[in-house]
Structure 1
Amino acid sequence: MARLTGWLLLWAPLPLLAEETAKAGEIATSGGRAPDTVATILSLGAGLLAVVAIIYGCAWLIRRMGGMTGMNNNAIKVVSVLAIGARERIALVEVGQQQILLGITPSTIRTLHVFDEPVVDAGNAGSSDFARKLQSMIGKSWSAPERKD
């Protein structure tokens, strides 16, 4: 039974194929024109340009809308970032009422210190104020040592 169904499915499209071949033969003998190649290429090119324009328009719209995150960005605030090297940074991030000092490299993000009380006010964080408080917390000097010539 399964073989019979398979043969029927295989032979079913043959009458339709024969009908299309007959119509194509009638067009060729009756002097009908074949589709214009230049018009087809121009139509396809215009469609391609429209699709590319729509893609660029959507990308521009997403950039303008900020990525359409739809999430609450008030929960986490980056208070300050300090570049240590070419690709290394130290960032002070505020989550709720807690501030976290993070070390950021291209391969990892590590927690350096979790502050119990806020070190810097997130509303008016100044870079010199942050550097001074960070220097006092860590105990290192960020300025270059003086030369004795």
Structure 2
Amino acid sequence: MEYWRNGVLEGCDNPKKGQYSNRNLGFTLLEVMIAIAIIAITLLAVFGSQSQSLSLANEAKFSTTAALLAQSKMAEIEAVNPEDLASDSGDFGENFPNYHWNLTVSDVSFAGIDEALDYLKKIDLSLFYGEYGQYKYSLRLYRFVPKTKS
């Protein structure tokens, strides 16, 4: 029967084979370097995914806010007399800093149906966020504009 006593495996043909030595108690420099490299690669992947997660959260916040602001601006546009529609630009005030909008009103043109197109206006609304307009949200609306009798 084999058993350990004082770091020596008793009942073994070669007692020194089962004996502990100071050399075998630690890790080699190569093992430590490999472990650190594995940890570094893992942390790099974790930090990269964290950065991407923050970026996606910012984009989601912009998309949600921009959709609500565009809906609000389009409601204002629809309340205006259609004949008074004109291109314009501005911002959303102190409540939404760095949010800017640009409104473009133009005539619609398609070949072959000119009479019907006299009553349509194309309205493009673009929202921008950031100092340099990093994020953009666009919306297009076609509006019927009845002609007044002169």
- Write 1 or 2 for the structure with the bigger share of strand: 2
Same fold per superposition (TM over 0.5): no
Give the TM-score band, short-chain normalised. 0.3 to 0.5
Q: TM-score, normalised by structure 2?
A: 0.32
Q: TM-score, normalised by structure 1?
A: 0.32
**Higher RCO (C-alpha under 8 Å, 6+ residues apart):** 2
